[in-house]
């Protein structure tokens, strides 16, 4: 399965550098423009290699982005809660500075990613997040073998996918950009009870005009 994995367009909380998690924040004006630009670009790709599905996180910022892409492709969107952002517990709605002031030890543990089972500040554990992402992608890889799909999701999910595709540990700070409305291309194939990953391209923003904000964590 060839995947174009799109991070949602910008929201007002992205602009304010606030952790969104499961909070349902819509796209801002720039975010809609970014989503439309992604749709136009993927429409051209669709003419060369047709996409078989557009699958999105159910959170509104991802769904609004996916709706713009699907409109450009003449398709409909399938929502999957497995593609949601990580739940950041008590830190949702905070900037990094506010989160540190609220509970410096718990926020430091969230940033450090030193324990996959940890739930700092009542955040979702990386272990739990990984399980739902893998379940979603395993289903898609088996449903669309040798097909191309568009997946619209969030920065935290993309971070995990990058690490899996590059054979990196899920612990510690990330080392790759995750821009709003960036395009990331992976081949994901079902292999036994697991998945085989191939990185094709990461963080493409040539379809956008102006700057695109990177993920916080």
The burial of 165, by beta-carbon neighbours within 10 Å (0-12 exposed, 13-18 middle, 19 or more buried), is given as buried
Give the C-alpha separation, 204 to 184, whole Å: 6
| CA angle (92 as vertex; 126, 181 as ends), nearest 5 | 75
What is the reported pLDDT for 95?
A: 98
Contact 178, 3 (CB under 8 A): no
Domain 2-204 falls under CATH 3.60.20.10: no
Q: Which residue has the higher pLDDT, 217 or 133?
A: 133
Q: What is the pTM of this model?
A: 0.97
pLDDT over 70, % of the chain: 100
Catalytic residue among 10, 46, 68, 85: 85
Mean pLDDT computed over every residue of the chain: 97
Q: Is 215 a catalytic residue?
A: no
The residue ranges of every structural domain in the chain are 2-204
- Which residue matches tokens 């996959």? 116
Q: Is 206 a catalytic residue?
A: no
What is the reported pLDDT for 193?
A: 85
φ, ψ of residue 87 in degrees (nearest 5): -80, 125
170 — pLDDT class (breaks 50, 70, 90): very high
Quick one: residue 203, left, alpha or beta (phi over 0 = left, psi -120 to 50 = alpha)?
A: left
DSSP state at residue 133: H
φ, ψ of residue 154 in degrees (nearest 5): -125, 165
pLDDT digits (tens, 9 = 90+) for 100-133: 999 999 999 999 999 999 999 999 999 999 999 9
């Amino acid at each position: 399965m060839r995947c174009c994995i799109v991070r949602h367009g910008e929201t007002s909380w992205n602009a304010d550098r606030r952790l969104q998690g499961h909070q349902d924040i819509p796209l801002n004006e720039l975010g809609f423009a970014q989503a439309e630009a992604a749709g136009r670009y993927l429409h051209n790709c669709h003419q060369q290699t047709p996409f078989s599905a557009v699958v999105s996180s159910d959170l509104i910022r991802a769904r609004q982005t996916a709706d713009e892409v699907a409109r450009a492709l003449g398709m409909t969107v399938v929502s999957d809660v497995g593609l949601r952002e990580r739940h950041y517990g008590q830190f949702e709605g905070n900037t990094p500075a506010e989160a540190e002031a609220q509970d410096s030890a718990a926020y430091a543990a969230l940033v450090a990613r030193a324990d996959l089972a940890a739930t700092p500040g009542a955040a979702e554990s990386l272990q739990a997040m990984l399980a739902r992402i893998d379940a979603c992608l395993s289903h898609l890889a088996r449903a669309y073998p040798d097909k191309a799909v568009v997946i619209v999701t969030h920065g935290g999910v993309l971070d995990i996918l990058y690490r899996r595709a590059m054979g990196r540990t899920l612990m510690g700070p990330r080392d790759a950009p995750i821009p709003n409305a960036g395009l990331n291309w992976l081949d994901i194939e079902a292999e036994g009870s697991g998945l085989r990953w191939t990185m094709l391209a990461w963080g493409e923003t040539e379809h956008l005009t102006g700057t695109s904000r990177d993920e916080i964590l």
